[in-house]
Structure 1
Amino acid sequence: MKNIKKIYTNDLKNIVTNWAAAILIGGLIVLPSLYAWLNIAAMWDPYSETGNLPVAIVNEDVGAKIRDQEINVGKELVNTLKTNKSMDWHFTNRKKAMDEVNYGNYFAVIIIPKDFSEKLASVISVKPEKAQMEYYVNEKINSVSPKITQKGASLIVEQVSSKFISTVNGVIFDLFNEIGLELARDLPDIERFEHYIFILEENLPEINRVLNESLADATSAENILNKAEGKIPEVRQLTSNGLDTINKTTDFITTAENRLNAITPKIKADVERVQKISKDINSFLNNTQNINIDLSKGDQLQKSLENQFNDALQTVDTIESSLIQLKKTNSEQAGSAGNEQLDQAIAKTGELKSALQNAQGNVTDIDQFLNQKKQEVKDTLEEIKNKASAVPTKLDAFVDEYQNSIEPTILSEVAKAKKTLSDAKALLTEAQSTLPEVERILKNTQGNLKEGKKALDYAHGQFPYVNAKVKELADKIRNLKNEADINEMINLLRHDPNAERNFFEEPVKLNEHKLFPIENYGTGMTPFYTVLSIWVGALLLISLLAVDVHQDSLTGKQIYFGRFLTFLTIGFLQTLIVTLGDLFILGVSVSAPVWFVVFGLFICLIFMLIVYSLVSVFGNVGKALAIIMLVLQIAGSGGTYPIVLLPRFFQIISPFLPFTYSVDLMREAVGGIVWQRVLHDFLFLSIFGIIALLFGAFLKEPLSQKTKALLKKSKESGLFH
């Protein structure tokens, strides 16, 4: 331990007392920091300067029309890019743009073809076509610039697509909104239509039956019309005959009316005569009561009464005959009009006649009564008087009924019969005048009926198809109602077009949540370049400083540990400068700055053990091994690209590289510490350090003779020192 300390103190003393050594060591301490700082500064925020990348835009778009609306997407894009500072846009023609990009003055060229708007407008056609842009890039200028320009081109395409989609969808949802409003307005009609379809479906069997019956009825109607047309001549003849009959009947009624008017005074005179006879008989009978009747003159009394009764009966017979004749005439010429009143008059006359005959019969018995029973004569006369006294009453009633009822009724019925015949004549005359029109209508109806029958035949033939389609439509309506509510469809269609347009312009919005925020690209690369500078610092030390002490009294372990302390001290100084410079010179935003420095010192310890052990044991070969490890670790540690994106070889060796855990450890300090990962990285780095320490401490002396022989042989070539 004493020798180890001695070696270490002598090294420090030599550095301090030898100005040349001090300058070289100072340079070794600072130089690795420059390597990290320059790279970090260069990559601090490279994408903030993309506005200096020259990219040409060539617009050849001639525009198009969508629903009578002029559009020119290329022109709109150019106007948008003129205010866009993400790149150095140059608006030029195709020839100049291609010449400049070939020469290298432009990193890329984006050409908008002349049919760009036209193809976008084809979205409303039957066969829409995708619009295309032409993108030319000169990749030999730089390996990163093509990625940046491609990103710019992709961004332009995304913006155009997003804008176009939002515009088209805005138009579509405008139409949807109009349709939704119309559907809402027409919803009662739609529901009524559905109801009608279902009713129609339900009534299809009845419709089929009616069609069949209508077809049969049409055939029957056609036959009836044919018969009716054939009967027209007969109707003409019957109408003419009817008019003749009415004229003759009217003449007969007029004649009967005249006869009635003529016979009425005679009837009245005969009635008055009967009344006078009846009064005389009553007067005679009254007188017989006031005088003493000479029974010997009974035959004279009988004859006188018989003569008066005969005159009365003859007069009543005349009236009855006249009434019977009037009834006969009325029946022959005017039908039954007035017959009921005539029958009543004839019946009354018969009653009157019967009463007179009864009275006359009693008169015949006077003589017999006088001969047999004188006392009964008076009774008989009294009876005759009573019966005879009834005759004037009946005569008065008959006269009154005839004058007030029979005669007016007969005349009224005759007048009605004449009016009826007059109306019938007018109707037949009108019918006769309309027969030509009826004949014409029948002919037209026959023609229309034939056409209607054809239509019925066609409808009957098409009924199976209509029946199937109506049922199919009804089923579709039922299925649609089961699958979707029309009110929900209306609500969906009536969405705000502007809101829908905004939605489709950016249908998915990314809400970014940075768990471990990194300010810029330089901060993100700080862990890698800091770790790299620590390894480079160790390489510089082993390249310039000797790892051996030429004293025979020292053992290999003493030399190993004594000189290692010197290397570690310088390495710690290198690490402090680079980590503190990251924080205070570059201003890197570190989440845990103290741990950033501590982790750096721990990494320096591990790296120095590895590099120092390799060189201490293998000499120049160890230096080569340290450089090889550096190369492998730059690519395989995941410091610049995620390890999963690297070739399979680097994915395999990555877990066995100290850089993998060192970069990860420094990232924890920069972005935010997850102690579980920190312990994981500490563990594996410690394993690397322990292996290196054991390797150097126990293999340095056994392998030193072989490495010295190799070194001696290499010096003989004159190429190695």
Structure 2
Amino acid sequence: MIIPSLYAWFNIKALWDPYANTGELPIAVYSDDQPASFQDKEVAIGKEVLENLHENKQLGWKFVDSKQELDRGVKSGKYYAGIYLPKDFSKDLLSFTTGEITKPKIEYSINEKINAIAPKIADKGASSLQSQITEEFIKTASSTLVSVFNEIGYNLDSNLISINKVKDMILSTDDHIAEIDKYTQEVVDLHGKMPELKEKLAKANEFVDYLPQVDALGDKLVELNGKIPTIKEQAKVILTLQEKIPEIQNAGKQLAMIDEDFASVEQTMNEGISEAKQGLTIIQGVQTALPDIQKLGDQADSLAKATSEGAAKLQEALPGITSSMKVTLQAIETISSSVASVVEQLRNNQLTPEEREMLKQQLSDSLGRQQAVIQQLIQTLTQIQESSGNQDLQPTIDKLNTISNMISVLKSKVDNLDVNAITDADLEAIQNDANQIAAFAGSIDVDAVSTMVNDILTKLISTISTAQGLLNQAKQIDFAALLNATEGTVANAIGILEKYQAELPAIKQEIHDANILLNGHMNTIVNGINKGAELYNNELPAVEEKLGLAADFIQNDYPGIKEDITTTLTTVNDKMPDLESALNKANDLVQNDWPNIKNGLHKAAGAIRKGEQDVDLGEVIKLLKLDANAESDFFTKPVEISENQIYPIANNGSASTPFYTALCLWVGAVLFSSIATTDFYLDEKDRGKYSKREQFSARMLTFLVMGLAQALIVTLGNYFLLGVDVKQPVYSVVFALLIALVFMMMVYVLVALFGNVGKGAAIIILVLSISGGGGNYPIQVSGKFFQFINPFLPFTHAVNLLRESAGGIYWPNAWKAIIILTSIGVVFCVLGVLLYPYIEEKTKKLAKVSHESHIFH
């Protein structure tokens, strides 16, 4: 009963008056301002600002000794913000007196990472400082200017009538001299175009004969305007194509590279298969003959010859072994491009998780096969080296072991990839490992290794031929194991090559055709797509608008214009001689007399402006003669605000009380439902006396009593313990009791019907209510989603109801909230009583299953 109240009380007390201590908020201030001269007086506005700030207690102003100290303090967090007045502050502020206006600047620095609210308070301080400077500036400047205007006003007043008669005429004419010039030039231009106009008039007379064709064209234009929506919908596909341009260009580059190298790939593969098969045939022949050779070798006299023949046969298979080694290492060298292809596909965000998993598995299997081939090659070279009795092949074997380990590490990284959370860093690491493996494989000189193997076998044959005494050494050579290892290496290489060879013709033709189609027309395709998108975005709307205007013109305006054209041409033809005569006279005036007239007008207007010093006459003189001090005060503060508090609340804590009270009642209901059971336990003899609905209702009363107790404690504590300002304390208690009943009813029904799922639903409602209930901030400043759910949250109406008792009840709003909350409580009560017998068994089964998991109570 008490714990929910603590939740409300601590929050209300913490928010009681959050802006009471803003005077402790450190704001650094430094002025570099130099005094400026105005009307033979020295003005130092920056100094006045600092003096005023010493008396200002709204913020904790800290007056530092340098700009560097100010910047360092703001960066370190010693000051929340800093205000700096530059050297020319006063000079710029008074620049309006010279006519070359330069707005003064106040440099305002703020450290926003220190706190979320402090920057807003500091901003308010900077704005207040700006307003204060502006107010003082306006008051001083307006007082000076109005005094000058006042003196001018009395001098002008006595001569106003005579001045105005001449002034208005000359100034008006001079003000419009440019327009008059333009008109005179137009007269001259029109006079020069008179022959052209007469020619065009003749053509216009001919145009009447073409009006039927214009009518037909207008009908087609109206028809086209009706089809514009269909055209726009069909053309919209060009935007989708434009988004795919980088993918199209990348595919073109890859196709060109593959098509260019395909012939050499095909030739290398055919040669490798041929050489590998020849080597395999020789090896298999040696394996077939080896038992007989070994049998003959048992005879001491024939052993050297048999061993020599076996070594010679193995030497004959050397080209096949070399070719197989080349194929194996070349396959390893291509691992970089293979991995790059898969990595590029994995970067595609449009792939499904299943497709990503399949790509990952394919890459892993490929790496496993390559590792097996490397191991087979290592085994072959090891057998040959052991037969030779030296370590010449050991560097190559070590490199192959290193490659095998690198492939193993790469395969482990691929296997551990999470296809649902692949990052660019993961893919770059895999690509880097693949590049290293390819580079390392390329460092092995296959020809040098082949030469060493050939030398070993040659020396072996020579030893057998010239040293019969080394018979025991020859017997120790395990040719069967050596041949088996070699046969496995060659067979693996043939399998790899033949797999791709079967698909080469079809792949080659498809790649070539695609390359010709795509890259042969790439610029045309890209330019066409971009041009089409540009036309769709920029030109089509303009065309649509213009076409609509043209169609509207044809349908509505053209008939009248057509009539006007036919009737007006007759009038124009009749009046053309008179127009030509008038233009001749006007042109003569402009060319001969207008320059002297214009020069005289301009000189007269300049003299008037200089004498009056741009002072407005007439009604403005009355304003100039008014009291200067009063006018200056008006300019400084032209508007006064009269504040009328409709529902005053004493402090911020009292204003926050409705939100936290409603929140604590919902939290209290959720907390109680977490520790109290909704089940009703009876002795065996009493179990049959009460129905499910009676048990449900009886346990409901226990929960409701708990809710009423929570409401009484929190509301009475608000009023008597914290001293919250409540205009209607009795209604506040009554409203809280109603809200507690409704909230506890909702939570009880949810938990009783749905168990842990109902508790989860209650927590979700709590989370949504905090953001969408409009408790602390107006709901209008929240997102569209929260504005949408706001009317449907019981929390919204609970807070609104408690606010009525806090500030003064407006009963239409209060009754609306009471009716909504009461309706919600009744609906949940009725639904709970009706549905409990049907849902209770299913809820128990679900609870039993959850208990068996040993995770939930």
TM-score normalized by the length of structure 1: 0.56
- Name the structure 2 match of 1:445: none
Deviations 1:371-401 (A, max 9, x none): xxxxxxxxxxxxxxxxxxxxxxxxxxxxxxx
Alignment of structure 1 residues 305-344 onto 2, 5 Å: none
Does structure 1 retain, via aligned residues, the 8 Å contact 2:26–2:79? yes
Does the Cα contact within 8 Å between 2:780 and 2:787 map onto a contact in 1?
yes
Counterpart residue number, 1:147 = 120
Cα 1:541–1:153 shift into 2, 3 Å: same
**Mapping of residues 80-91 of structure 1, within 5 Å:** 80-91=52-63
5+ unaligned residues in a row in structure 2: which ranges? 171-592, 610-615
SS of equivalent residue, structure 1 residue 48: coil
- Aligned residue among 478, 503, 507 for 2:634: 503
Q: Cα offset for 1:500?
A: 2.1
User: Do the aligned partners of residues 647 and 195 (structure 1) sit closer, same or farther apart at CA in structure 2, a change above 3 Å counting?
Assistant: closer
Question: Structure 2 vs 1, CA of residues 178 and 627 (structure 1 numbering), >3 Å: closer, same or farther?
Answer: same
Which residue of 1 is the match for residue 45 of structure 2?
A: 73
Q: Secondary structure at the match of 1:130?
A: coil
CA contact (8 A) 2:151 2:625 kept: yes
Label 1:560 to 1:497 Cα distance change in 2 as closer, same or farther (>3 A): farther
How far the C-alpha of 1:555 sits from its partner, in A, is: 2.8
Find the aligned partners of 1:532 and 1:467 in 2 and give their Cα distance.
Answer: 83
SS in 2 for 1:629: helix
Matches of 2:32 and 2:802 in 1, distance apart?
Answer: 52
Query: Cα offset for 1:473?
Result: 11
Q: Paired residue for 1:708, among 844, 849, 855?
A: 844
Q: Distance in 2 between matches of 1:656 and 1:461?
A: 79
Instruction: Work out the CA distance in 2 between the residues paired with 1:690 and 1:172.
Output: 73
Distance in 1 (alpha carbons) for counterparts of 2:617 and 2:152: 16
Query: Is 1:490 paired with 2:621?
Result: yes
Output aligned runs, 1:522-537, within 5 Å. 522-537=653-668
Q: Residues 564 and 182 from structure 1, CA distance in 2 versus in 1: closer, same or farther, beyond 3 angstroms?
A: same
Structure 1 residues 628 and 515, CA, compared in 2 at 3 Å: closer, same or farther? same
TM-superposed CA distance for 1:474, in Å, is 14
Select which of 135, 140, 147 maps to 1:174: 147
In 2: Cα distance, 1:95 partner to 1:198 partner: 59
After TM superposition, list the pairs within 5 Å mapping 1:628-707 onto structure 2.
628-707=764-843
| Deviation of the 1:565 alpha carbon | 1.1
Shift of 1:194: 5.3
How far is the alpha carbon of 1:692 from its aligned partner? 1.5
Amino acid of the residue matched to residue 119 of structure 1?
A: D
Q: What is the CA–CA distance in structure 2 between the aligned matches of 1:51 and 1:687, rounded to whole Å?
A: 49
Aligned counterparts of 1:130 and 1:719: Cα–Cα separation in 2: 69
**Cα offset, 1:197, TM superposition:** 8.3
Is the aligned partner of 1:52 residue 2:24? yes
Displacement after TM superposition at 1:559 (Å):
2.2
Q: Is the 8 A contact 2:67 2:84 kept in 1?
A: yes
Structure 1 residue matching 2:113: 3-state secondary structure: coil
* 1:114-161 CA-partner distances (Å, limit 9, x unpaired): 222222111223331222112222222211111111111111111111
Cα pair distance change 1:193/1:128, threshold 3 Å: closer
**Structure 2 residue 84 is matched with structure 1 residue 111:** yes
Provide the secondary structure at the position in 2 that maps to 1:585.
Answer: helix
Secondary structure in 2 aligned to 1:142? coil
Check if 1:556 corresponds to 2:526.
Answer: no
CA distance in 2, matches of 1:63, 1:475: 37
Alpha-carbon distance in structure 1 between the residues aligned to 2:599 and 2:76: 75
Deviations 1:301-350 (A, max 9, x none): xxxxxxxxxxxxxxxxxxxxxxxxxxxxxxxxxxxxxxxxxxxxxxxxxx
Asked whether the equivalents of residues 112 and 134 of structure 1 are also in contact (C-alpha less than 8 Å), the reply is yes
Q: How far apart are the structure 2 equivalents of 1:90 and 1:461?
A: 69
Are the counterparts in 1 of residues 160 and 617 from structure 2 also a CA contact under 8 Å?
A: no
Shift of 1:650: 0.3
Q: How does 1:242-281 map to 2 (within 5 A)?
A: none
> Following the alignment from structure 2 to structure 1, what is the Cα–Cα distance between the partners of residues 68 and 647?
48
Post-superposition shift, 1:195?
A: 6.9
How much identity, in percent, do the aligned residues show? 43
Partner of 2:745: 609
Asked if the contact 1:162/1:504 (under 8 Å) is kept, the reply is no
Distance 1:461 1:34, change over 3 A: closer
2:757 is aligned to 621
* Mapping 1:40-439, distance limit 5 Å: 40-92=12-64, 93-184=66-157, 187=158, 189-193=159-163
Q: Which residue matches 1:594?
A: 730
Distance 2:594 2:693 in 1: 116
- Distance (Å, rounded) in 2 between the aligned partners of 1:198 and 1:157: 42
Q: 1:569 to 1:195 in 2, by over 3 A?
A: closer
SS in structure 2 opposite 1:86?
coil
Q: Which residue matches 1:254?
A: none
Structure 1: 5+ residue runs without aligned partners?
1-28, 201-459, 477-483
Q: Secondary structure at the match of 1:110?
A: strand
Distance 1:474 1:158, change over 3 A: closer
Aligned-partner residue type, residue 674 of structure 2: S
Aligned residue for 1:109, secondary structure, equals strand
Report the Cα distance in structure 1 between the residues aligned to 2:772 and 2:639, rounded to whole angstroms: 36
**Alignment-mate amino acid for residue 61 of structure 2:** W
Classify 1:35/1:171 alpha carbon distance in 2 versus 1 (closer, same or farther; 3 Å): same
Instruction: Output one character per residue of 1:602-632: Cα deviation in whole Å (capped at 9) or x when no partner.
Output: 1111111111111111111111111111110
- Contact 1:539/1:611 (<8 A) preserved: yes
Alignment RMSD: 2.9
Alignment-mate amino acid for residue 673 of structure 1: I
TM superposition shift of 1:485: 7.5
| Cα displacement (A) at 1:464 | 5.2
Q: Hey, what's the Cα distance between the residues in 2 that align with 1:192 and 1:706? A: 104
Whole-Å separation in 2 of the counterparts to 1:588 and 1:196: 75
1:575 maps to: 711
Q: Against the structure 1 CA distance between its residues 494 and 692, is the aligned structure 2 distance closer, same or farther, given a 3 Å change threshold?
A: same
CA contact (8 A) 1:36 1:578 kept: yes
How much does 1:701 deviate? 2.2
Partners of 1:466 and 1:615 in 2: CA distance: 96
In terms of mean alpha carbon deviation, does 57-66 or 630-639 score higher?
A: 57-66
Once residues 115 and 467 of structure 1 are traced to their aligned partners in structure 2, the CA distance between those partners, rounded to angstroms, is 44
Structure 1: how far apart are the matches of 2:147 and 2:605? 32
Secondary structure of residue in 1 paired with 2:84 = strand
**Distance change >3 Å, CA 555–CA 124, structure 1 → 2:** farther
1:512-551 correspondence to structure 2 within 5 Å: 512-551=643-682
TM superposition shift of 1:68: 3.0
What is the number of equivalent residue pairs in this alignment? 425
Q: Using the TM superposition, give the Cα deviation of residue 709 of structure 1 relative to its aligned residue in structure 2, in angstroms.
A: 2.1
Tell me: CA distance 1:124–1:534, structure 2 relative to 1, closer, same or farther (3 Å): same
Structure 2 length as normaliser, TM-score?
A: 0.47
Flag the 1:475–1:586 CA change in 2: closer, same or farther, 3 A: same
1:467 and 1:111, CA in 2 relative to 1: closer, same or farther beyond 3 A?
Answer: closer
Name the aligned partner's letter for residue 97 of structure 2. Answer: I
Change (3 A) 1:197 1:161: closer
| AA aligned opposite 2:141 | V
User: CA separation in 2, counterparts of 1:473 and 1:126?
Assistant: 19
Work out whether residues 751 and 759 of structure 2, in 8 Å CA contact, stay in contact via their aligned partners in 1.
yes
Cα 1:191/1:698, change in 2 over 3 Å = same
SS at match of 1:655: helix
